[in-house]
Structure 1
Amino acid sequence: MNIDAVNDFRARVAKHAALADPARLRIVDLLTLGDLSPTELQAELGMPSNLLSHHLRALEEAGLVIRRRSEADRRRSYIRLAPGALEGLVPGVEHGARRVLFVCTRNSARSQLAAALWRQVSEIPSLSAGTHPADRIARGAVEVARRHGMDLADVAPRKLEQVAGEGDFVVTVCDNAHEELGGLGGVHWSVPDPLRLGTEEAFEQAFQDIAHRINDLAPRVLTA
């Protein structure tokens, strides 16, 4: 066995060892669809903060989860599954949906990209909306979509209340929208806002982050 194979094997062993604890396995189950803050995890698990911190450290050390600060409230952080964390492991449960609705604050970048990416991999309809929609889609979003063969030029931002419907599987893709909705937005993806930097690289990173998450989620969402 070569060095790379040995390292891969050890990484798998570390993941399985971390997941052998029932609490850690439950945490990963909760994170398979979206990101949660430590406070939200505490509420779901009914676990004291010091014990939760211990389990999160173990999961981080095993390469299963990562955390980042909220862009809305820097005192908060969000825990997410690390890219490729569950490769080779059994996926989580499947979910039914009539339609997938991606939500961010201004519906000018992340949610628009998410809806367009979803349409490429799933037959389940998708829409996007904003809690406070902008007048137009961000130029950076239009350009990164075009580089990847998608056209957003003629799509207008829409207000959440105008498009939300019963049976929607809602995915918030920005911290502000998730926190404004008080956790009622369903699944949450803590994707950094590319408009903060406004660079081509920032939009490309947001695109790749969303694409990776959608490729993981799409096989697990079935038509309701």
Structure 2
Amino acid sequence: MDVEVRSLVERARVHAALGDPARLAIVDALAVGDAAPGELGALLEMPTNLVAHHLKVLQEAGLVIRGRSEGDHRRTYVRLVPQALSKVGIPPLSAVPRVVFVCTHNSARSQLAAAIWSRRSHVPATSAGTQPAERVHPRAVKVARRRGLDPEKWRTSQVNDVVKPDDLVIAVCDIAYEHLPAEARPRVHWSVPDPAPADTDAAFEAAYDEIAGRIERLAPLVAQSKRKKAGA
């Protein structure tokens, strides 16, 4: 009985948190990617103190968590708790012709993301880096093969050579997100920890699992559109 009461209390807290239109708008904004509080305020035209209040309520309801940027350590990013997504209806995204996953070196997270996406969605996907490495990280290749992906043709690329204006750009690391050029927008941010510093199979497996989970939630929301031809 105590378990049932606690469950009812938790559900009531979630429903109360989502009962405010402003908080529901924040949840919608975070449904596809992470954002700094200031970015949420700018997007929703909401003053800083009000954003802070609503985030506090959402955090206490177990709907969002915060994490510090691996790039600019002064910044924090807010993200939805994955289990929370089952409690809210998420609006679909506009149709896009292609998804481009970006990280700093294009040597692990973005490569894995593009491959996972291609297995999950009919929308084409590729990857690029803001500072491409000379080769894909060996542990990323190892994890890919262990998970049934084919990394044989993976090559690193520069973001400016890949991204087109109507691509849906998804930055899978904080540093790349903070340094994406303006022409790479619109963009989504996933604050996925870099597995390279740890340089262990476990770290790369954890990155794979987080990316795969995010793709599993996002892919059904993205419909494919045909890319417009030049001069059309």
- TM bucket (normalised to shorter chain) is over 0.9
DSSP 3-state at the match of 1:151: coil
1:73 is aligned to 72
Give identity over the alignment, percent.
51
Contact 1:178 1:185 in 2 (8 A): no
Correspondences of 1:1-224 after superposition (within 5 Å):
3=3, 6-181=5-180, 184=185, 186-224=187-225
Q: For residue 96 of structure 1, what is the amino acid of its counterpart? A: A
Distance in 1 (CA, whole Å) between partners of 2:108 and 2:77 is 21
Distance in 2 (CA, whole Å) between partners of 1:166 and 1:50 is 34
DSSP 3-state at the match of 2:196: helix
Once the two structures are TM-superposed, the CA of residue 193 in structure 1 deviates from its matched residue by 0.5
Contact 2:62 2:81 in 1 (8 A): yes
Q: For residue 219 of structure 1, what is the amino acid of its counterpart? A: P
Unaligned runs of 5+ in 2: 226-232
Distance in 1 (CA, whole Å) between partners of 2:208 and 2:68 is 19
Q: For residue 213 of structure 2, what is the amino acid of its counterpart? A: H
Distance in 2 (CA, whole Å) between partners of 1:62 and 1:18 is 7
Aligned length: 223
Once the two structures are TM-superposed, the CA of residue 47 in structure 1 deviates from its matched residue by 2.5
DSSP 3-state at the match of 1:218: helix
Q: 1:11 to 1:152 in 2, by over 3 A?
A: farther
**After the TM superposition, which parts of structure 1 deviate over 6 Å for at least 4 consecutive aligned residues?**
none
Contact 2:167 2:186 in 1 (8 A): no
State the TM-score, normalizing by the size of structure 1: 0.93
Distance in 2 (CA, whole Å) between partners of 1:61 and 1:146 is 40
Once the two structures are TM-superposed, the CA of residue 86 in structure 1 deviates from its matched residue by 1.6
Distance in 1 (CA, whole Å) between partners of 2:201 and 2:5 is 37
Over aligned residues, Cα RMSD in angstroms?
1.7
Unaligned runs of 5+ in 1: none
Write out per-residue CA displacement over residues 146-199 of structure 1, whole angstroms, 9 at most, x where no aligned residue: 221112143111111222224211111111111112673511111111112111
Q: For residue 67 of structure 1, what is the amino acid of its counterpart? A: R
State the TM-score, normalizing by the size of structure 2: 0.90
